[in-house]
C-alpha cells in the first residue's frame, strides 16, 4: 500500500477512533473499560482470539481482564517482562501479536491477538491501527483514572462533611435522650457509621467488683466475644459514678476487606464517648436536682403540717406555770408536744418523737394528734390510752416507723399525775427539796410491736414548788463539731441550777445553752421541751 493510500485509509478511520475513545472514557470501572477496548479491537481486527490481561505492577502476576477463549499458562509467555511498550509480531505461532502496554498507574495491559481470519497476517495498516488504538486506550485509561480520582476526592470530602455533621447531630440527639439504653444504641450506630466500623460495643462494668452490668452491641445480633477478639479494633473508655464505660469498635471496612482504624477514627470514637459521658452526667445531675426539689417540697409540706399541730398557745392552768417550745431542724422532724384541756381541771401533757423525718414523720404526728384528741374524750387511764395508740400507729405506719411517746394527765386540783412513758426519754420530776426522779415506767414505742404487752403506768403527785421537765432527744443528743453530745448530765445540771426561772425563761435559757454547745455545727434534730411548775 502506498503512503498516500495509507493516509487516506487512516483518515477514514479517524472518526471511528474518536468514537472508540468516547466509548472508553464513559466506562465506570476497569472491567468496563477493558470490555469496551476488547470490542474495539474486535471491530478493528478480524482475528481468531483476543485476550486482554492486566497486572497491577511489573512484579505482579497477570490476571485475565477479558477473553472469550480459555487461557493457558503458555499463552502468558508471549507477554514481555519489560517495563516498556512492547509489540511483537509472530509468524507460524499460536498468536500473531503480543503487546505489553505500560499504563500511567504503573500497571500493565497485556494483549494477545490470534490469527487473522483471512490468514493474511498483520499489514502495515493493521500495525498502525494497533498503535493508534493503544494510544487511544492509554489516553482513555488516563482520563478514566482522573475521573476516578476526582470522584474519590469528592467522595472523601463529602465523607468528612458527613462525619462532622454526624458528630454535631449526635451530640445534640444524645443530650435529648433520657433512657440510657437508647442513648447507647444511638451512640453505637453513629460511631460505627462515621468510622465505617463493621461492629461496635459498649460494656458497662461495676468499678469495684468488675462485674459486667450491661453490654450493648451494634449490629444487635453480633457476639461480644467476636468484637473483643478482633485484631483490628480501637477502644475508648470513661468512668462515672462507680461504673466503667468501655467502647470498642471492630474492623474498619473498605471495599477490599477489613483494615486498621485511623487516628481520625480514634478521635471520632473519643468524641462520641465524651458526648455519651456528658449526657450521662447531665442526666445524673438533673435527677439529683429534681430529687432535691422533691425533698424540699416535701420538707415544706411537712413543716406546714407540723406547724399546724404544734400548739400556738398552751392553756393557762390555775396554780401552775407552763411553757413549751419546738425548734425544728433543717430537715423537718417528727417532734410533737401539747397540753390538752380534757375538762374537770384535767390536762394531758404530751411529748412525742416520731422516728425518721420528712413528710412521713409529719403525717404520723398528725395521726397521733388526731387519735389523741379522740381518745382523750373517753377519760381513759394513760396505760389504756397508750395501748390503743400503739395498735393504731402499728396498723397505720410502715414497720420502720414508730413514735416514742410520753404523756402525763395532770389533775390540776390535786396535783396528781397519771403517767405512761412509751419508749421516750425519761421525764424529769424535780422536787422542791432538790430530789430528782426519772420517770421511765411504760413500755415500747408506739407502733413498734403489737404483741399485746400491757403498758405500765406510774402515778406521782406534783406538789407546790415541784417541776416537771419533758423533752425530746434533740436536747441531750445535740452535737458540736467535735461530735460531742450536750448529754443528759449537762441537761440535768442545767435543770437543777435554773429551775427557779419562770418556765418561758427556763426553756429559752436551756435552748440557748444547747445552741452554745452546738456552736457552728448544724442542728441535726428537732429541739422540743415542756416545762411545768406548780406554784
Partner 1 sequence: MSTDFNIVSEIHNDTLVMKTDGYINNTGGEKIVLEFSKHINNIKKVVIDLAKSKVVNSIGISYLLEMIETLNQNDGKLYFTNLDPTIEKTFKIMGIFQFAEKADSIDSILN
Rounded to whole angstroms, the Cα distance separating 105 from 137 reads 13
Cβ atoms within 10 Å of 229's Cβ, excluding its own: 10
Under the binding rule (CB under 8 A), the answer on residue 264 touching partner 1 is: no
1/161 with CB nearer partner 1: 161
Under the binding rule (CB under 8 A), the answer on residue 251 touching partner 1 is: yes
Q: What angle separates helix 124-176 from helix 180-195, to the nearest 10 degrees?
A: 160
Under the binding rule (CB under 8 A), the answer on residue 260 touching partner 1 is: no
Locus of grid cell 492509554: 138
Give the nearest distance from C-beta 159 to partner 1 in angstroms.
5
Q: Which of 161, 285, 290, 449 binds partner 1 (CB under 8 A)?
A: 161
Rounded to whole angstroms, the Cα distance separating 236 from 246 reads 6
Q: Which of 79, 192, 408, 448 binds partner 1 (CB under 8 A)?
A: 192
Give the nearest distance from C-beta 23 to partner 1 in angstroms.
11
At residue 227, the 3 state secondary structure works out as helix
DSSP 92: S
Give the nearest distance from C-beta 172 to partner 1 in angstroms.
12
CB 321 within 8 A of CB 532: yes
Report H helices in 409-476.
none
| Options 93-101, 160-168, 432-440, 512-520: segment touching partner 1 (CB under 8 A) | 160-168
163/524 with CB nearer partner 1: 163
Give the nearest distance from C-beta 248 to partner 1 in angstroms.
14
Rounded to whole angstroms, the Cα distance separating 354 from 365 reads 7
Under the binding rule (CB under 8 A), the answer on residue 158 touching partner 1 is: yes
Under the binding rule (CB under 8 A), the answer on residue 194 touching partner 1 is: yes
Give the nearest distance from C-beta 261 to partner 1 in angstroms.
13
| Options 16-24, 62-70, 156-164, 299-307: segment touching partner 1 (CB under 8 A) | 156-164
* β-pair partners for 459: 418
Assign 3-class secondary structure to 356-383.
Answer: CCCHHHHHHHHHHHHHHHHHHCCCCCHH
| Options 165-173, 287-295, 357-365, 500-508: segment touching partner 1 (CB under 8 A) | 165-173
Secondary structure element (H or E) that encloses residue 88, with its range = strand 86-89
- Rg, Å, the chain Cα set: 49
| Options 82-90, 220-228, 341-349, 469-477: segment touching partner 1 (CB under 8 A) | 220-228
Under the binding rule (CB under 8 A), the answer on residue 145 touching partner 1 is: no
Residue window 27-46: x/- pattern of binding to partner 1, with contact defined by CB under 8 A: -xx-----------------
Rounded to whole angstroms, the Cα distance separating 373 from 375 reads 6
Cβ atoms within 10 Å of 394's Cβ, excluding its own: 17
Under the binding rule (CB under 8 A), the answer on residue 162 touching partner 1 is: yes
Rounded to whole angstroms, the Cα distance separating 38 from 23 reads 12
Give the nearest distance from C-beta 158 to partner 1 in angstroms.
5
Size of the site for partner 1 (CB under 8 A): 30
| Options 89-97, 157-165, 287-295, 430-438: segment touching partner 1 (CB under 8 A) | 157-165
Under the binding rule (CB under 8 A), the answer on residue 184 touching partner 1 is: no
Under the binding rule (CB under 8 A), the answer on residue 196 touching partner 1 is: yes
User: What φ, ψ does residue 257 adopt, rounded to 5°?
Assistant: 125, -175
10/232 with CB nearer partner 1: 232
Give the nearest distance from C-beta 246 to partner 1 in angstroms.
20
Under the binding rule (CB under 8 A), the answer on residue 284 touching partner 1 is: no
Under the binding rule (CB under 8 A), the answer on residue 193 touching partner 1 is: yes
| Options 21-29, 79-87, 264-272, 404-412: segment touching partner 1 (CB under 8 A) | 21-29
Under the binding rule (CB under 8 A), the answer on residue 92 touching partner 1 is: no
Under the binding rule (CB under 8 A), the answer on residue 210 touching partner 1 is: no
Under the binding rule (CB under 8 A), the answer on residue 22 touching partner 1 is: no
Task: Sort 231 into a burial class: Cβ within 10 Å, 0-12 / 13-18 / 19+.
Answer: exposed
Under the binding rule (CB under 8 A), the answer on residue 169 touching partner 1 is: yes
* β-pair partners for 421: 406, 442
Rounded to whole angstroms, the Cα distance separating 353 from 425 reads 10
Under the binding rule (CB under 8 A), the answer on residue 255 touching partner 1 is: yes
Give the nearest distance from C-beta 251 to partner 1 in angstroms.
6
Distance of CA 462 to CAs 16, 283, 410, 502, Å?
A: 132, 61, 9, 17
Under the binding rule (CB under 8 A), the answer on residue 155 touching partner 1 is: yes
| Options 81-89, 192-200, 277-285, 301-309: segment touching partner 1 (CB under 8 A) | 192-200
Give the nearest distance from C-beta 219 to partner 1 in angstroms.
4
CB 151 within 8 A of CB 239: no
Under the binding rule (CB under 8 A), the answer on residue 147 touching partner 1 is: no
Under the binding rule (CB under 8 A), the answer on residue 165 touching partner 1 is: yes
DSSP letters of 103-133? -TTS-EEEEEE--BTTS----HHHHHHHHHH
Give the nearest distance from C-beta 193 to partner 1 in angstroms.
5
Under the binding rule (CB under 8 A), the answer on residue 26 touching partner 1 is: yes
Cβ atoms within 10 Å of 65's Cβ, excluding its own: 20
Q: Which three cell numbers stand for residue 360?
A: 412521713
Q: Which long-range contacts (CB under 8 A, 24 or more apart) does 448-454 make?
A: 448/390, 448/394, 448/402, 448/423, 449/390, 449/394, 450/390, 450/391, 450/394, 450/395, 454/383, 454/387
CB 3 within 8 A of CB 125: no
Which chain residues interact with partner 1 by CB under 8 A?
A: 26, 28-29, 154-155, 158-159, 161-162, 165-166, 169, 189, 192-194, 196-199, 218-222, 251, 253-255, 258
Amino acid at each position: 500500500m502506498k503512503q498516500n493510500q495509507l493516509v487516506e485509509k487512516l483518515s477514514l478511520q479517524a472518526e471511528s477512533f474518536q468514537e472508540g475513545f468516547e466509548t472508553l472514557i464513559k466506562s465506570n470501572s476497569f472491567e468496563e473499560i477493558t470490555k469496551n477496548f476488547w470490542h474495539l479491537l474486535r471491530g478493528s481486527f478480524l482475528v481468531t482470539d483476543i485476550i486482554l490481561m492486566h497486572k497491577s505492577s511489573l512484579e505482579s502476576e497477570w490476571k485475565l481482564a477479558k477473553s472469550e477463549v480459555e487461557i493457558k499458562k503458555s499463552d502468558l509467555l508471549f507477554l514481555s517482562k519489560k517495563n516498556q511498550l512492547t509489540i511483537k509480531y509472530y509468524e507460524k505461532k499460536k498468536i500473531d501479536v503480543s503487546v505489553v502496554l505500560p499504563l500511567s498507574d504503573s500497571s500493565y495491559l497485556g494483549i494477545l491477538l490470534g490469527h487473522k481470519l483471512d490468514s493474511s497476517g498483520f499489514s502495515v495498516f493493521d500495525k498502525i491501527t494497533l498503535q493508534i488504538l493503544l494510544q487511544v486506550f492509554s489516553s482513555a485509561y488516563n482520563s478514566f483514572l482522573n475521573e476516578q480520582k476526582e470522584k474519590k476526592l469528592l467522595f472523601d470530602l463529602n465523607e468528612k462533611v458527613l462525619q462532622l455533621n454526624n458528630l454535631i447531630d449526635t451530640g445534640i440527639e444524645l443530650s435529648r435522650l433520657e433512657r440510657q439504653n437508647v442513648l447507647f444504641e444511638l451512640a453505637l450506630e453513629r460511631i460505627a457509621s462515621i468510622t465505617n466500623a463493621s461492629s461496635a460495643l459498649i460494656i458497662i462494668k461495676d468499678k469495684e467488683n468488675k462485674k459486667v452490668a450491661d453490654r450493648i452491641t451494634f449490629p444487635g445480633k453480633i457476639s461480644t466475644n467476636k468484637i473483643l477478639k478482633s485484631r483490628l479494633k480501637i477502644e475508648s473508655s470513661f468512668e462515672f459514678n462507680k461504673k466503667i464505660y468501655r467502647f470498642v469498635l471492630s474492623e474498619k471496612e473498605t471495599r477490599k476487606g477489613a483494615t486498621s482504624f485511623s487516628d481520625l477514627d480514634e478521635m471520632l470514637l473519643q468524641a462520641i464517648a465524651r458526648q455519651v459521658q456528658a449526657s450521662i452526667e447531665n442526666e445524673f445531675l438533673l435527677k439529683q436536682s429534681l430529687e432535691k426539689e422533691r425533698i424540699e417540697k416535701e420538707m415544706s409540706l411537712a413543716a406546714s403540717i407540723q406547724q399546724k399541730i404544734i400548739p400556738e398557745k398552751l392553756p393557762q392552768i390555775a396554780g401552775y406555770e407552763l411553757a413549751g417550745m419546738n425548734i425544728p431542724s433543717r430537715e423537718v422532724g417528727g417532734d410533737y408536744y401539747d397540753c390538752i384541756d380534757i375538762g374537770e381541771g384535767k390536762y394531758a401533757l404530751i411529748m412525742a418523737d416520731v422516728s425518721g423525718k420528712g413528710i412521713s414523720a409529719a403525717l404520723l404526728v398528725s395521726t397521733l394528734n388526731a387519735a389523741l384528741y379522740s381518745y382523750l374524750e373517753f377519760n381513759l387511764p394513760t396505760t389504756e390510752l397508750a395501748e390503743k395508740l400503739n395498735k393504731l400507729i402499728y396498723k397505720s405506719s410502715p414497720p420502720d416507723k414508730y413514735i416514742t411517746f410520753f404523756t402525763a394527765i395532770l389533775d390540776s386540783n390535786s396535783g396528781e399525775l397519771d403517767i405512761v412513758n412509751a419508749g421516750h426519754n425519761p421525764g424529769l420530776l424535780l422536787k422542791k427539796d432538790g430530789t430528782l426522779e426519772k420517770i421511765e415506767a411504760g413500755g415500747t414505742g408506739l407502733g413498734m410491736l403489737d404483741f399485746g404487752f400491757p403498758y405500765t403506768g406510774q402515778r406521782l403527785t406534783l406538789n407546790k414548788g415541784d417541776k416537771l421537765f419533758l423533752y425530746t432527744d434533740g436536747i441531750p443528743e445535740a452535737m458540736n463539731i467535735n461530735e460531742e453530745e450536750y448529754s443528759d448530765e449537762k441537761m440535768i445540771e442545767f435543770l437543777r441550777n435554773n429551775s427557779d426561772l419562770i418556765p418561758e425563761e427556763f426553756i429559752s435559757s436551756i435552748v440557748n445553752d444547747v445552741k452554745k454547745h452546738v456552736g457552728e455545727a448544724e442542728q441535726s434534730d428537732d429541739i422540743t421541751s415542756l416545762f411545768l411548775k406548780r406554784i
